[in-house]
Amino acid sequence: MFKPLRKLTRPGIRVQLTLWYSLVSAVLIVIFGIAFYTSSAQLLAKSFDTTLQLRAQQVAEGVTVKNGKMIVDDVVNELPELDSSAALIDATDDDNLTPDPDSKDSTSNLNVFYPDRSIMVRIFDTHGGMIYSTATFNKIVVPSASIQQPLAGHPWPGTVMNSSMQPIRLYSTMLTDKHHVVGVVQIGQSLAKLNANLQNILIGLLIVTPFALLLSAFGSYWLAGRAFRPIHRLALTAREIGAKDLSQRVPVPQPEDEVRELSVIFNQMIGRLEHAFAQQRRFVADASHELRTPVAVIRSMTELAVSQPSDAEDTLLVLHEVNSESERLGRLISDLLALARADEGQVKLDFEPVRLDLLTADVVSSLEVLAGERKVVLRTADLNPATVLGDAARLIQIIMSLVDNALTYTNAGGTVTLSVKATASDAYLIVRDTGIGMAKSDIAHIFERFYRADPARSKAVGGSGLGLSIADWLVHAHDGAISVESELNKGSTFTVMLPLLSQTPLLPSPQLK
């Protein structure tokens, strides 16, 4: 019962993109609407004031002064917006200031007058006395500044309210004759039409906005589905790829976009997984083979000893062989456990300053007896002082693995030489032997687990194929690198590079006794 609620609280990426796109579109539309409405209001208001100024100029051009008396021409003909029935009233005539209610013409004039569409005109002399006025101007109370400022030479624009509480825009300017102020002309017009236009703009925006948002949501949902279509195909292909068949690859689209990059990265990941699975299967098979051999040897020897009882000497010989195979089996299990822990990152190293040259000398000293048994000369050359940051026990394990490998594959009478050199930033451990060597095609695989470059490299010589793998892992765990150079029947040279801790003081190199 909670699945629908969970889907609502955790929508898919396509729905999330649609919601985000719709939200961004809504914000942009609101910002655009506010900006459009504000700019339209300012533009209309500016155009309105400009129109009033032009009309005031037209009225001023129709006013003349003769013998000190102001004469006003026919304003109706000068101003098309002035209603023809709203005749200009002579304010100097008391009868004209108050229309006769019994007059049919006067009543008709007042009934057909539309103040929201008509221009209102009023003219004053220099003393503030009204000379002419349209009838509707009598219903408006204007501030005295609208007359005083123009008389002082400054136009006055402003907004006042009529008796019906409707806003009226006024513009007052001076009347001049020969550069002298002779009066004031006031032009007014109702803002009802302007406000109606702005209201229509606002209603239009409110009607268009929901449809725009709805169209934006549908469009974004469709675009998101189209954009995720290649990813959907990629997911379908990836779902068909199983652990048993990692040879398949997802299709890579032609356009150089993020989906192509994702497809390439996904194919690279599948390739790495395929290699890892193949390596794991090979490792399990090799480990099973290596573990089965000593177990089979121990089992066959014990069965023979049980089925054919012999004297104490033969029994001791069998026990000796069983012990030898058990030790080999134990070393193999230890190596496998070490590699398994290394793969899981469970092995912790205790890093401290270590003299690599002194460790090398100690390892050579301890393995001299083993080298003597195999009739191989083990010696050192150029043991330069070098201090590295590492785990001493693990560094000894690296050196012993390389030396044991060199002794194992060096014939009697051969030589194994160890050197330690240092540069400004790195220390180098070099293990060189005159053994059987290996082909160049085998060098790239020499550090793989259970890999043997030659059939001669088998359990017959005591190797398990894990020593070099462990050495390679330990070297990389010390932020170092290991490389090998080899040639068939001429020997091999293993070089371990480790970061030098600091400038090591020049001390005498240790000499073997």
What are the pLDDT digits (tens) for 303-348?
Answer: 777 777 667 777 777 777 777 777 767 766 776 676 666 666 666 7
pLDDT at 447: 80
Q: What is the Cα–Cα distance from 315 to 51, expressed in whole angstroms?
A: 128
Q: What is the pLDDT of residues 391-441, one digit of tens each?
A: 898 899 899 889 988 998 899 999 999 999 999 899 999 999 999 988 887
Give the Cα separation of 500 and 472 in Å (integer): 18
Among all chains, which residue has been given the structure tokens 């590699």? 339
Q: Is residue 22 scored above 70 in pLDDT?
A: yes
* Average pLDDT of the residues in 28-40: 92
**What does the pLDDT read at residue 327?**
72
Q: Can you read off the two tokens belonging to residue 477? A: 């765990």
375 against 4, higher pLDDT:
375
The answer on pLDDT for 513 being more than 50 is: no
**Paired tokens of 92:** 């100097």
Tokens 């910002």 sit at which residue? 31
Least confident of 25-34, 443-452, 501-510: 501-510
Burial class (CB in 10 A: 0-12, 13-18, 19+), 164: exposed
Structure-block tokens of residue 88 = 């200009």
The encoded tokens of residue 295 equal 């177990």
189 and 52 in contact (C-beta within 8 Å)? yes
Per-residue model confidence (pLDDT) at position 483: 93
Q: Is the pLDDT at 102 greater than 50, yes or no?
A: no
Q: Which residue from 280, 49, 64, 67 is spatially nearest to 169, judged by alpha carbons?
A: 49
Domains and CATH numbers, the chain: 30-197 (3.30.450), 263-344 (1.10.287.130), 352-499 (3.30.565.10)
Q: How far is CA 46 from CA 78, 152, 155, 256, in A?
A: 22, 24, 15, 52
Cα 199–chain centre separation:
44
How far, in Å, are 98, 275, 285, 345 from residue 282 at the CA level? 117, 10, 5, 21
Identify the band that residue 98 occupies on the pLDDT scale cut at 50, 70 and 90: very low
pLDDT above 70 covers what percent of the chain? 76
- DSSP code, position 243: T
Residue in the block written with tokens 């002794």: 407
* pLDDT tens-place string over residues 261-293: 888 888 888 888 877 777 677 666 666 756 666
Q: Say yes or no to pLDDT of 446 above 90.
A: no
Q: What is the pTM of this model?
A: 0.48
Instruction: Please tell me which residue, 257 or 433, carries the higher pLDDT value.
Output: 433
Task: Say if CB 87 and CB 77 are below 8 A apart.
Answer: no
DSSP state of 87: P
